[in-house]
Structure 1
Amino acid sequence: MDLLTEKWLPVILSDGEITKISLSEILNDNVRDMAWPRADFQGAAWQMLIGILQCTVAPEDKYVWEDVWNEGIEEGQWNEALQALAPAFQFGEKKPSFLQSFDSLDSENGPIAGLLVDAPGGNTLKLNKDHFVKRGSVEKICPHCAVMALYAIQTNSPAGGVGYRVGMRGGGPLTTLVVPQEEEKYPLWKKLWLNVLPQENAPTAAQFPLIFPWLTATRTSEKAGNVVTQENAHPLQAYWGMPRRIELDFHDTCQGRCDLCGENHESLLLQMRSKNYGVQYDGWLHPFSPYRQAAKDPSAPWLALKGQPGGLSYKDWLGLMLEREDKFNKMQPAKVVSAAGRRKNLSLWCFAWDMDNAKARCWYQHRIPLISVSHPELFRDALNKVLVLASEALSLLRNGLKNAKFDKPKEAKFDFSMVDIAFWQETEPAYRALINALAEDPQRNDALTHAAVRQWERDLHLYLFHVFDRDALTDPDSPDEILLRQLTARQDLESSYRKNKARKDVLALVE
């Protein structure tokens, strides 16, 4: 199957119709979005298509980038650029085959469901713990879904046992892509183009084995130190990482309906082979992910942010948009986010698997505003103070609830995870209003900005006592000693909040 000419990409058109197109048709203005049956495939498809654009028609500089945004890409130029990639985009039994081991693997066949990040693993099946994602739910996959499953598992590759390498960004990396705020108004290619970076030199065919690792014998990692870095590979391999050694079985197939997309196909894939000690990556800064570094150790590695329980909350937003530093970490946004610069009316599409080693716990995705400001250092300083107060307020709320509920709160154990998640979700609307005001007036000269800061602080204060009263003052018939303890805890919460230095720092922003 030639991935450049085969109509294998499911898309939604401007009139709502869902159909399949080839890569050569991706620049059609009627194509609005991908239409994969799984959320992780949808995210993987965007990353793959951006990678193809980056490897074929990347602009030389920001001025050429603007020209393409305004005028598009000529059909002839696009088809010629795609054709150059033909050796790397063949999929099937014949080697080299897209994102699969160049060498045949001498391992036993396993179920095709092993391509899916959330498929139950061997130990899960052995212990009969496949409660939420059942065994046997995916047994047959069409070649079209298999291609995207391959890309998704290679880019998100979690820990999988001895020698099974994680992806270039670690297992379950957080991806942040730039999208328009009014996405429905733009064709898919323009949304993808927002994430294409200028590069001076186009890759040559001679460099393809350093970009597409399946074109040559796998650089395996049985021996320590045999790692792939940006120094011994091409920087564009960031889009085509291949930590897993995988070989699909194209011999034993069957006719029927794909368990993922539901379409009929005459050659459904049933089995795959895999082997450990695939490519081991080190030292890469992937253009789609934000990174952090230990604040007090400049020699520490930069680590890509990962999915986390509960997903993102607004306390994470600032580090996804701007460089930031606190007492624990330095943060830098994804390269595609930094490149967006001062462009207006953009958002970030953020998504990741929340992984516990090899176990996928949940898929999270969010749309958050990408703020463009004239004085980023003032905007960052103000929001840092706001976020410190929000975190301090949550800590005070936790302590207040423990003091109200227990005679010996320091010795008591209490799960605050739901309180934490609810806090960040339920105070988000007030925070959105505040950042919009600060983005319009980062120097805080306008009376409306002053009012917005004070209103946010009042909303935060009211929220604390709404939650406290709801969760702590639950029984009007409580014995006097318990009621006294609860009211004392409430009074202490009020006093601690009003005296908190972080609150004074926020209010000082508009004095």
Structure 2
Amino acid sequence: MNLITDSWIPVLNQDGNRATIKPAQLADPNVMELDLPRLDFQGAAYQLLIGLLQTTFAPADVDEWMDYYDNPPSEDDLQLAFDDVIHAFHVDGDDARFMQDFDTLEHISSTNSVANLLIEAPGGNTLKLNKDFFIKRDLVEQLSLPMAALALFTLQINAPSGGVGHRTGLRGGGPMTTLIRPDDTDSTLWQKLWWNVINRETLSYPDPDFSNGSVFPWLAETRVSDKTGEPIYRDEVHPLHIYWAMPRRIRLIIDTPSDEQSASDLIDDVTGEPCLQVVSQYRTQNYGHNYEGDWSPHPITPYRNNPKKPDDTPFSIKAQPGGINYKLWHMLTFTGKEGNSGFVRAKVLDHANEIYAASDGAISASGLWAFSYDMDNMKARGFYSKELPIYHIPSSQQIQLLETVLKLHELSDSIIKQLRNSIKYSWMSERQAKDSKGDMSMIDNMFWQRSEPLFFSAVEDAVNNGGKLTPTAAIDWLSKISKLTERLYEEQVLSSAVVKQRHMEQLNNLRAFLYGNKQLAAFRNRYKSTKENS
């Protein structure tokens, strides 16, 4: 099987019907969206196809980018470009295999279940101790070749720490990915992908060599990273290597049906569909490619560095417990140029602003699709995905807008702290509350989720006002956030069958904070006086 020449990509067409296409058909105007069976596979497939386009079909400049956005290439044109890399996308066979070690690893006697390619699969120790309570063993025993290849790619680009010598991904374990989404809700799949392909004037790099492993590492022997091995740094590989990094040494074992076995007996456990060949096991070897050093700025991943320690290596931003919410928004959309913030956004955002300016606003993006695993070392606590708004604003206003956003976060943090304490002291006696170390994060999560519309309404006002809040918007935000805070308290405390005296006392304390706290009062009075004087 070959990922370039075979039809394997499940998509949704304009009429809502499902189809399976090959990569050269991506620009078909009838194809609207990918349709993978898992959300992490959906995100990985986007990254694979974006990487393929960037590697083989990147536009020369902004003008060519805009030409292809409105007038997509033909299937023949795409196939001609992809032909250059067919040899790198075999999933099986005797030659080099996609995302698999150059060595066949046949000297490795032990094998692993294909389920272990899935990042959330329970580990060996969990199975040994029978602790797979929530994510059960044996749910996935075999995958079709396309799904096995995609599972492998998903693991390689997200690879968390996996024990001694099992290396993390180039961007660290479970990195945040941020992809541009078009303004037009009726955009085709081609336009959704193309927004994340950067023209070669902006993302400058020499013409690649597709034969020596500098772009596709599986085409050459692995640089073993044991005690005598050396790590890989950015300047040692081609810039396009960043899309195809391969930290794990893995070789899939392909099962072919026996003479007695019908092809219909082979079922992919993720899609539930029959297939001709399956993967049920793989071999692995530790001490694969060890990526170190600074890999920022990255085309599709935001990073952060410590402004106080400029020599420290930047690290990729990752999801945290509670998911992706607007508290992370400025980390994903701002860059270190604004007030030495330390944020280094993905280059696709800079490119989106470039396209917007070059087209005089005719071609615009309005969304940022952010997704990431939330990892606790080797354990996946969850996979989060969220679409957040983005705005095309002049760079001269970025610093002011960031200051506005950080101020709203500062006030929100103080409100959440008081809300959490008020609820805690309502649920328990004062002595119990002081000693309690229970998890109150659900209160924080509820606040961030339900206050999100208020936040972005305020941000949009600031965007239209040079990065500053208008007095009306500022007072409106504080008023509504205060009412929301009271509602959250009432839902968590006063909705119970028995309302005690301490419940009302804590409600009064919360109200006193919302309308008398120095920070909140200063914010309210500042904008109130400005409004009265205007």
TM-score (normalizing by structure 2): 0.88
Summarize deviations over 1:378-422 as a string: whole Å, max 9, x none: 222222212211112212222334455442455443422111000
Secondary structure in 2 matching 1:257? coil
**Aligned counterparts of 2:244 and 2:193: Cα–Cα separation in 1:** 17
Structure 1 counterpart of 2:42: 42
Does the CA-based 8 Å contact 1:322-1:338 persist in structure 2? Answer: no
Summarize deviations over 1:344-396 as a string: whole Å, max 9, x none: 34201111111121112211100110112232232222222122111122122
**Aligned counterparts of 1:59 and 1:298: Cα–Cα separation in 2:** 34
Structure 2 counterpart of 1:435: 459
Structure 2 counterpart of 1:396: 418
Q: For residue 126 of structure 1, report the CA deviation from its aligned partner.
A: 0.7
Matched, 1:273 2:273: no
Secondary structure in 1 matching 2:305? strand
**Aligned counterparts of 2:474 and 2:131: Cα–Cα separation in 1:** 49
Matched, 1:150 2:152: yes
**Aligned counterparts of 1:397 and 1:260: Cα–Cα separation in 2:** 43
Distance 1:251 1:428, change over 3 A: closer
Distance 1:161 1:492, change over 3 A: same
Segment drifting more, 58-67 vs 323-332: 323-332
Structure 2 counterpart of 1:321: 333
Which of the residues 353, 368, 371 maps onto 1:341? 353
Does the CA-based 8 Å contact 1:295-1:326 persist in structure 2? Answer: no
**Aligned counterparts of 1:244 and 1:505: Cα–Cα separation in 2:** 57
Distance 1:288 1:224, change over 3 A: farther
Which of the residues 315, 320, 333 maps onto 1:308? 320
Matched, 1:138 2:101: no
**Aligned counterparts of 1:153 and 1:220: Cα–Cα separation in 2:** 19
Structure 2 counterpart of 1:66: 66
**Aligned counterparts of 1:188 and 1:220: Cα–Cα separation in 2:** 39
Structure 2 counterpart of 1:419: 443
Does the CA-based 8 Å contact 1:60-1:201 persist in structure 2? Answer: no
Q: For residue 339 of structure 1, report the CA deviation from its aligned partner.
A: 1.7
Distance 1:208 1:434, change over 3 A: farther
Secondary structure in 2 matching 1:209? coil
Does the CA-based 8 Å contact 2:339-2:399 persist in structure 1? Answer: no
Q: Equivalences for 1:15-414 in 2 at 5 Å?
A: 15-105=15-105, 106-107=107-108, 108-183=110-185, 185-199=186-200, 200-201=204-205, 203-205=207-209, 208-223=212-227, 226-251=230-255, 255=263, 256-282=266-292, 283-285=294-296, 286-323=298-335, 330-341=342-353, 343=356, 344-374=364-394, 375-404=397-426, 405-408=428-431, 410-414=434-438
Letter in 1 for 2:240: L
Distance 1:444 1:133, change over 3 A: closer
**Aligned counterparts of 1:331 and 1:217: Cα–Cα separation in 2:** 36
Letter in 1 for 2:161: A
**Aligned counterparts of 2:522 and 2:225: Cα–Cα separation in 1:** 49
**Aligned counterparts of 1:436 and 1:457: Cα–Cα separation in 2:** 15
Q: For residue 53 of structure 1, report the CA deviation from its aligned partner.
A: 0.5
Distance 1:295 1:394, change over 3 A: farther
Distance 1:488 1:266, change over 3 A: closer
Does the CA-based 8 Å contact 2:411-2:519 persist in structure 1? Answer: no
**Aligned counterparts of 1:48 and 1:349: Cα–Cα separation in 2:** 16
Q: Equivalences for 1:414-493 in 2 at 5 Å?
A: 414-442=438-466, 444=468, 449-472=470-493, 482=502, 486=506, 489-490=509-510, 492-493=512-513
Q: For residue 16 of structure 1, report the CA deviation from its aligned partner.
A: 1.2
Secondary structure in 1 matching 2:10? strand
Segment drifting more, 269-278 vs 196-205: 196-205
Letter in 2 for 1:417: S
Does the CA-based 8 Å contact 1:348-1:369 persist in structure 2? Answer: yes
**Aligned counterparts of 2:496 and 2:24: Cα–Cα separation in 1:** 67
Structure 2 counterpart of 1:11: 11
Q: For residue 261 of structure 1, report the CA deviation from its aligned partner.
A: 1.2
Summarize deviations over 1:27-60 as a string: whole Å, max 9, x none: 2111111111111111000000000000111122
Summarize deviations over 1:74-122 as a string: whole Å, max 9, x none: 5443222111112211120312011000012122122111211111211
Unaligned runs of 5+ in 1: none
**Aligned counterparts of 2:337 and 2:508: Cα–Cα separation in 1:** 37
Segment drifting more, 118-127 vs 64-73: 64-73
Letter in 2 for 1:94: D
Q: How many residues align?
A: 506
Structure 1 counterpart of 2:361: none
**Aligned counterparts of 2:338 and 2:61: Cα–Cα separation in 1:** 33
Q: For residue 466 of structure 1, report the CA deviation from its aligned partner.
A: 2.6
Q: For residue 459 of structure 1, report the CA deviation from its aligned partner.
A: 0.7
Does the CA-based 8 Å contact 2:211-2:219 persist in structure 1? Answer: no
Segment drifting more, 393-402 vs 501-510: 501-510
Segment drifting more, 377-386 vs 22-31: 377-386
**Aligned counterparts of 2:500 and 2:475: Cα–Cα separation in 1:** 38
Distance 1:336 1:439, change over 3 A: same
**Aligned counterparts of 1:250 and 1:239: Cα–Cα separation in 2:** 25
Unaligned runs of 5+ in 2: 357-363
TM-score (normalizing by structure 1): 0.91
Q: For residue 230 of structure 1, report the CA deviation from its aligned partner.
A: 1.3
Q: For residue 332 of structure 1, report the CA deviation from its aligned partner.
A: 1.7
**Aligned counterparts of 1:499 and 1:430: Cα–Cα separation in 2:** 19
Letter in 1 for 2:459: I
Q: For residue 202 of structure 1, report the CA deviation from its aligned partner.
A: 5.6
What is the Cα-based RMSD across aligned positions, in Å?
A: 2.7
Q: For residue 165 of structure 1, report the CA deviation from its aligned partner.
A: 0.6
